[in-house]
Structure 1
Amino acid sequence: MSLFWRIFLLNAAVLVAAGALLLLGPITVSAPVVLTEALILAGGMASMLGANALLLRLGLAPLQRVTRAMTTIDLLSPRPRPEVAGEGEIADLIETFNSMLDRLEAERATSSARALSAQEGERRRVAQELHDEVGQTLTAVLLELKRVAGHAPEPLREELIHVQEITRGSLDEIRRIARRLRPGVLDELGLVSALTALITETPPPEGLVIRRQMEKDLPELGHEAELVVYRIAQECLTNTVRHSGATLLELSLRRRPGGVELRIRDNGRGLGGAPEGAGLRGMRERALLIGAELSLGDDPSGGTDVRLVAPVRNGST
């Protein structure tokens, strides 16, 4: 039965019941109307409106539930789905909304995968160009400076050696940036070694202590999942070093039933209810891409607590 006919029949039932009470009951209306009759009619009208409102609220309750779901659902993780309840157009509306969420989730996963794949490809290209073009050019400059410094008089030689040291520092920085853009150690030595190298190469501000605890014998995650874990750890370390003002950061990588848990905690300022930026949103999108569980929040003792549980590949343990 359509929503129109349901509402029509509810109102008709109330009106018929009121008419039957007037016809069959002992109530009469005088001309002019006396106060007692007016009060009885007013009470009957109020009862009729109350009954009509109650019946409509019961009939439209599923529609109100789906309206609340539409306004409060998290589009990055639209679960659980609203329960299909009611009849007619209301049930059809809830089913259509759930189907729309299914399509949205599938399309978001596909588009996120394409975007992240393109991003990683661009990072590899930039890292390769930094290594091959800029790195080789600076290496040639270093060799030329060394040759010129060997034939230069003493005062000029010291200046050339100083320029040589500056150039060598720039070359080391470019190589470090290239490694962060394209973590070759992740492909060659695995996730634990890549995270260890990431922590070692991240220059902490004065007063920040970084502690790590990583299990060696971890189940196989697969290249895509390992890259997601690495990028999320990289984003957390960058945020802590730049913005948190923390004095302690703890990173752990442990085996969990059905997955591997990455946990990063610090004692800094915490999120503090700040709006979600591109970095945090990117972390959530990466986690959803591999079906991982990601929680971000303020640690009860102060600071930020990030927890990622990545599922293992092929159900290995």
Structure 2
Amino acid sequence: MSLFWRIFLLNAAVLAVAPALLMLGPVTVSTPVLLTEALILTGGLSAMLIANAVVLRIGLAPLDRLSRTMGTVDLLRPGHRLAVTGHDAGIAQLIRTFNTMIDRLETERATSSARALSAQEAERRRIAQELHDEIGQTLTAVLLELKRVADQAPPPIRDQVHQVQETTRNSLDEIRRIARRLRPGVLEELGLASALKALSGEFSTAGLTVRPSVETDLPDLGAETELVLYRVAQEALTNVARHANARHVALTLRNQTGGVELCIRDDSRGLRDAAEGAGIRGMRERALLIGVDLSVGSAGGGGSQVRLRVPVRQEVVTDG
């Protein structure tokens, strides 16, 4: 029976019982109303209201759960579904429809994120290539020309030219560093372990020390998964360097039972219920590309940590 008919029949029964009791029972209503009569009528009305409230509370409880879930659902944290409960067929169908809608939205979000991140990586490669080929080569030519001028200039001017050379050389190093971050060539050439060690070295600057602990006997993860792990580590270290006020960071990549785990842990003051920014949400979107969930929170003993666990499918070899 649908919720509408249950409520309708309950109210109809209450309205039918009330006149029947007045007509068939010994209770009468005087004018003016006596105290005992008022107490009986008040008790009967209270009983009807309580019965109505109980039925409505039981019948509408699944709708309350659905409302709370709709207000808290996050497509970047997939997998949360409502259990199809309740005696009302209409409410059960509504919950099933809601779960189906969330399935579709999560699929569409993952597909659109994959397209956007793929286009982003292609654009990063293009910009890195242009920085290396165009600006990098131009600055290299400028350095050679400055060296020729310095060799022919008198001593007072030679010192000034050397200062310009040093500034140009620093700019060239910075452009190369930006190009490496945009397009991690070491990831393609030497693999994930070497890329993460090199990344740790880039972020180990004055005031911040990154200690990598990367196992080398990792299973074959695939190019897309390795890129996701690298970008998540890069974004996590960027967040620590910019916002955490930490002094030490531990970056670990190790084998786990049935998978590989990446963990970036710092010694900052922790998240302290801070709202997730664009960096963390970007990491979650990348994690969804390979179908895994990103864990971000406070670490035991202080600090914060980012954890990403990637399951690895075990291939079963059979004798043919």
For residues 169-208 of structure 1, what are the structure 2 equivalents within 5 Å?
A: 169-206=170-207, 208=208
Aligned equivalent of 1:232:
232
Supply the distance in 2 between the matched residues of 1:256 and 1:171 (Cα, whole angstroms): 41
Aligned equivalent of 2:85:
85
- Aligned-partner residue type, residue 188 of structure 1: E
Contact 2:265–2:299 at 8 Å: present in 1 too?
yes
1:33 correspondence with 2:26: no
Stretch deviating more after TM superposition (139-148 or 162-171)? 162-171
Stretch deviating more after TM superposition (175-184 or 150-159)? 150-159
Contact 2:76–2:281 at 8 Å: present in 1 too?
no
Aligned equivalent of 1:285:
285
Aligned equivalent of 1:62:
62
- Aligned-partner residue type, residue 38 of structure 2: A
Supply the distance in 2 between the matched residues of 1:229 and 1:65 (Cα, whole angstroms): 36
For residues 150-169 of structure 1, what are the structure 2 equivalents within 5 Å?
A: 150-169=151-170
Instruction: Check 1:284–1:181 CA distance in 2 against 1; reply closer, same or farther (3 A cut).
Output: same
User: Could you give the per-residue CA deviations for residues 150-188 of structure 1, whole angstroms, max 9, x where no partner exists?
Assistant: 222222223222322221221111111101100011111
Supply the distance in 1 between the matched residues of 2:58 and 2:205 (Cα, whole angstroms): 60
Aligned equivalent of 2:308:
308
Supply the distance in 1 between the matched residues of 2:71 and 2:242 (Cα, whole angstroms): 35
CA-CA distance at 1:137 after TM superposition: 0.3
Q: Give the TM-score, by structure 1 length.
A: 0.93
- Aligned-partner residue type, residue 124 of structure 2: R
User: Could you give the per-residue CA deviations for residues 90-143 of structure 1, whole angstroms, max 9, x where no partner exists?
Assistant: 122112211110111011001111111111111111101100000010111111
Provide the identity percentage.
67
User: Could you give the per-residue CA deviations for residues 201-239 of structure 1, whole angstroms, max 9, x where no partner exists?
Assistant: 225233x22212111101111111111111111111112
Contact 2:77–2:293 at 8 Å: present in 1 too?
no
Q: Secondary structure at the match of 1:145?
A: helix
Q: Give the TM-score, by structure 2 length.
A: 0.92
1:134 correspondence with 2:135: yes
Aligned equivalent of 1:50:
50
Aligned equivalent of 1:146:
147
Aligned equivalent of 2:244:
244
CA-CA distance at 1:31 after TM superposition: 4.1
Instruction: Check 1:289–1:102 CA distance in 2 against 1; reply closer, same or farther (3 A cut).
Output: same
Instruction: Check 1:140–1:132 CA distance in 2 against 1; reply closer, same or farther (3 A cut).
Output: same
- Aligned-partner residue type, residue 157 of structure 2: L
Q: Secondary structure at the match of 2:112?
A: helix
Aligned equivalent of 1:220:
220
CA-CA distance at 1:24 after TM superposition: 4.1
CA RMSD, 1 decimal = 1.8
- Aligned-partner residue type, residue 165 of structure 1: E
For residues 291-302 of structure 1, what are the structure 2 equivalents within 5 Å?
A: 291-302=291-302
Supply the distance in 2 between the matched residues of 1:298 and 1:244 (Cα, whole angstroms): 12
Stretch deviating more after TM superposition (144-153 or 40-49)? 144-153
User: Could you give the per-residue CA deviations for residues 242-273 of structure 1, whole angstroms, max 9, x where no partner exists?
Assistant: 22221211111111122211111111132222
Supply the distance in 2 between the matched residues of 1:104 and 1:115 (Cα, whole angstroms): 16
- Aligned-partner residue type, residue 122 of structure 1: E
Gaps of 5+ in 1: none
Supply the distance in 1 between the matched residues of 2:205 and 2:117 (Cα, whole angstroms): 27
Contact 1:205–1:241 at 8 Å: present in 2 too?
no
Stretch deviating more after TM superposition (94-103 or 146-155)? 146-155
Supply the distance in 2 between the matched residues of 1:285 and 1:266 (Cα, whole angstroms): 22
Supply the distance in 1 between the matched residues of 2:292 and 2:300 (Cα, whole angstroms): 23
Stretch deviating more after TM superposition (288-297 or 123-132)? 288-297
1:107 correspondence with 2:108: yes
Contact 1:18–1:48 at 8 Å: present in 2 too?
no
- Aligned-partner residue type, residue 133 of structure 2: D
Supply the distance in 2 between the matched residues of 1:175 and 1:300 (Cα, whole angstroms): 38
For residues 3-14 of structure 1, what are the structure 2 equivalents within 5 Å?
A: 3-14=3-14
Gaps of 5+ in 2: none
1:264 correspondence with 2:267: no
CA-CA distance at 1:43 after TM superposition: 0.6
Q: Secondary structure at the match of 2:254?
A: strand
Aligned equivalent of 2:17:
17
CA-CA distance at 1:316 after TM superposition: 5.3
Instruction: Check 1:297–1:188 CA distance in 2 against 1; reply closer, same or farther (3 A cut).
Output: same
Q: Secondary structure at the match of 2:101?
A: helix
Instruction: Check 1:14–1:315 CA distance in 2 against 1; reply closer, same or farther (3 A cut).
Output: farther
